[in-house]
A and B are shown apart, each in its own frame.
Chain A
Amino acid sequence: MLDAVAARHPVLGRRIRDEAGAVRRFVNVYVDGEDVRWQGGLATAVRDGAVVQVLPSVAGGS
């Protein structure tokens, strides 16, 4: 799904993931409320009707 987002909106795509494909350190991706880092990572299954959220973490900033 993130690949599709990046294909349609490349600037948004690289805000979420770096060019090596990793989700940026202080960006969190949730599928149905669960952080994918603790699920299947970027291979986490996205069911029809799932809610996907991309949120900046509380960390970082200056």
Chain B
Amino acid sequence: MTDLLAIGTRKGLWLARSDDDRRTWSLEGPHLLAQEVAAVSVDTRRPTPRVLAGVQYGHWGPSVTWSDDLGRSWEETDHGAIRFPEGTGAALGRVWQLRPDSADRPDLVWAGCEPQSLWRSTDGGCSFTLVRGLWDHPHRPTWEPGAGGGAVHTVLPDPASDRVTVAMSTGGVYVSDDGATGWTPHNRGISAVFLPEPPEYGQCVHKVAVDAGDTARMYAQNHFGVFRTDDGGGSWTSIADGLPADFGFPIAASPTVPGTAWVVPLVADVQRVPPDGRLRVHRTQDAGGSWTEVGAGLPDGAWTAVLRDAFCTDDHETTGLYVGTRDGCVYASADEGETFTLVAEHLPDVLVVRAARLP
């Protein structure tokens, strides 16, 4: 069994491997050198794993490319896997999220993109169709772009139903219960400090993660505030008490242990660095009732940040946790965040990490 960690950066993709249960890692790359890789997934539902990447070819625009031989060769669809239909007047700005659906929907892949849009592929990511229900939503003209651009950055298909949850900055959380046709905002209780009153939608939700024990329980790292819902986004309550700061970008939940989730606090939106320069992970094991600082092996004097997708779990029984920083370091934990080892350093700024187990 090999653990694979895909690392997308501002200037290329690296693949790290571990063959000793995540104790040591070897780094391979760069692949796609000089291309921005803001989204990556490793789709292990296929006979051979597919690395799917959302890239920005510098001057030459965005695209989706894939490798079925772990980076030795790359393919892309002639006319582009993601292209806005005629009549929309829109053009793809950046691919922010590539999300394979569940194992029993083997060719279904979702993409979240800029401008704010959701896309659905039924051929493993070679071509996508615009989800018109969200694109044509009457709220869309009022979804303002955040500082990084306006994008659907989180796509959470429910493996047991037709429910799909997305999050965007700005716009917030939207949910469809009919397979991505109709969409309603699900932001009640989530703050928006940049607006005079808490709105129905328009929040700047940075990332959402689903609890292992109940898909209706989700956690959100907001642009100030960390929240939990127990009813599929119907209402959210603050779980930020006990954190050194309630700002940050990523949030991850264990895929195997209910109630366990992690955040990486930053001081504030105007000070996007860890408190006191100490890069640490904070873990809850009671669904946000309390938080514990963990992360032995993560650095002090780290005046950097962790972006929303540069943080992920694996699916081991003892959850592994992976952290990529804007100063090009990647750390791995095989013990739910207690301790970390350095996987890579001196890379370009890390935009995304994704872990997978290869047969």
Contacts and interface: CB of A to CB of B under 8 A. Distances in A.
Contact of B61 (A10, A14, A57, A61): A14
Interface majority SS (helix, strand, loop, mixed), chain B:
loop
A24 B84 contact: no
A48 B57 CA distance: 32
Interface stretch (B74-82, B99-107, B279-287, B322-330): B74-82
B83 A62 contact: no
Contacts of B57: 15
Interface string A3-14: 000000011001
Interface in A10-62: 10-11, 14-16, 18-20, 22, 24, 26-27, 56-57, 60-62
Nearest to B82: A19
B92 A18 contact: yes
Contact of A11 (B76, B84, B90): B76
A19 B63 CA distance: 11
Given A56-B58, A61-B58, A18 B91 contact: yes
Contacts of A19: 80, 83-84, 91-92
Given A20-B84, A22-B91, A15 B10 contact: no
Interface majority SS (helix, strand, loop, mixed), chain A:
loop
B59 A27 contact: yes
Contacts of B207: none
Interface residues of B, number: 20
Contacts of B92: 18-19
A60 B80 contact: no
Interface string B62-87: 01000000000000101110011000
Contacts of B91: 18-20, 22
Contact of B58 (A10, A20, A60): A60
B248 to A, nearest CB: 24
Nearest to A55: B59
B153 interface: no
A19 to B, nearest CB: 4
Which of A10, A11, A16 has most B Cβ within 10 Å? A11
Given A14-B80, A19-B91, A24 B10 contact: no
B82 to A, nearest CB: 9
A27 B60 contact: yes
A11 B78 contact: yes
26 contacts: A10-B79, A11-B78, A14-B61, A14-B63, A14-B83, A15-B57, A15-B60, A16-B60, A18-B61, A18-B92, A19-B83, A19-B91, A19-B92, A20-B84, A20-B89, A22-B91, A24-B59, A27-B60, A56-B58, A56-B60, A60-B58, A60-B59, A61-B58, A62-B10, A62-B11, A62-B36
